[in-house]
Amino acid sequence: MKIYYVYILKCSDKTYYTGFTSNLEQRFFEHQEGKHIESYTYKRRPLELVFYFEFSEVGFAIDTEKQIKKWSKIKKEALINNEYEKLPNLAKKKFK
């Protein structure tokens, strides 16, 4: 069974990058080495792998990556810190 990963990298400028891969170790190496000059992480190295999920279904992994990419920095940090109870409140829109 093939495993897919959704991962979050912390960049040197304190931003987060969320990605998807079937080979986490290789993909992280590519980010660290700057394989793709045009990528978000290229000028933000060094990087730290701060979180990842494993999936057995590629479609679910891709959908999860797309969802997390839309999240705020605060919500991503709650996920990274295993503060799952905070996620529902961070998802609610604030109205004035």
Which domain range does residue 43 map to? 4-71
Residue 94 lies in a domain: no
The pTM score is 0.91
> What Å distances lie between residue 75 and 7, 49, 90, CA to CA?
15, 17, 6
Residue 89 placed within a domain? no
Q: Are 86 and 78 in contact (CB under 8 A)?
A: yes
The predicted-structure confidence for 9-23, as pLDDT tens digits, reads as follows 999 999 999 999 999
Residue linked to tokens 């109205």? 95
Number of domains comprising the chain = 1
Digit-coded pLDDT (tens) for 43-66: 999 999 999 999 999 999 999 999
Distances (CA, A) of 23 to 7, 19, 64, 77: 11, 11, 17, 23
Find the CATH number of the domain harbouring 12.
Answer: 3.40.1440.10
